[in-house]
Amino acid sequence: MIGNIRQQWAERSPFTWILATPLVTLPLSGLLLFTVGGTVDAEALGLTEQEWVKVGERLDRVNYFHFDFWSTCGLLLGPGLLNLVVALWVFHPLTYVRTASLLALLLALLRTFVVPLAAILLSPTDLLSSEGLIIRVPIEESGLRSDPSSELAIFRLLGVAWAGGLAMWIVTAVAWKAYEPLMARFQPHLTPPRERHTGEPSKWGGFLSRR
């Protein structure tokens, strides 16, 4: 059975693999953060846990939740290592497929390590240096129906990281659909793993075909 599964995936595009992995990596990263992860002792590190800020004409109390940078990133991004399985397609005998695997591997590296972390750092979270790197997540009390909690802060981290991952997933889907027509247009000498259909680039409206 394992051999049949390997054979079926080996016959698929490497883009298909990294389009399917979020079905596993997203719930796994959330499960790890909620079960293994947690906040650090802000009081022991001398970090502020609450403060009042002025929002327009009113005051709002902001609660800060602090997470160790390295352990949180490991739990959040670690499941994304599954994306790097696309590197196996580099050993395919066809240059056409090897080229696709290198592009898919680049997208996998960006989606696994760069984009989610950049999304977190560009969000309202802060990166502090206090006996190591600390991620500080602010939770405003206004508009909340319950007291702020570390679980809510984790949900906010996951939401930001997953939003960045969704953007890269869309880029991957576009690359998957564009790869074959572009290769047929610019690299027609490379043999694809399946027979090309006559006039295949024309379904893109003809703007990729030669005049």
Q: Is the separation of the CB atoms in 34 and 76 below 8 Å?
A: no
Q: Would you state the structure tokens that stand for residue 69, as one six-digit string?
A: 């940078």
- Tens place of pLDDT for every residue, the chain, 211 residues? 666 655 555 567 889 999 999 999 999 999 999 999 889 888 888 888 888 877 666 778 889 999 999 999 999 999 999 999 999 888 888 898 899 999 999 999 999 999 999 999 898 889 888 778 999 999 888 766 667 889 999 999 999 999 999 999 999 999 999 998 898 888 888 888 766 655 444 333 333 444 3
Dist CA 92 CA 101 (whole Å): 9
| Token duo for residue 17 | 């693999």
Residues 102, 112: Cα–Cα separation, whole Å: 15
Residue matched to tokens 């022991």 = 44
Question: Domain locations in the chain?
Answer: 2-166
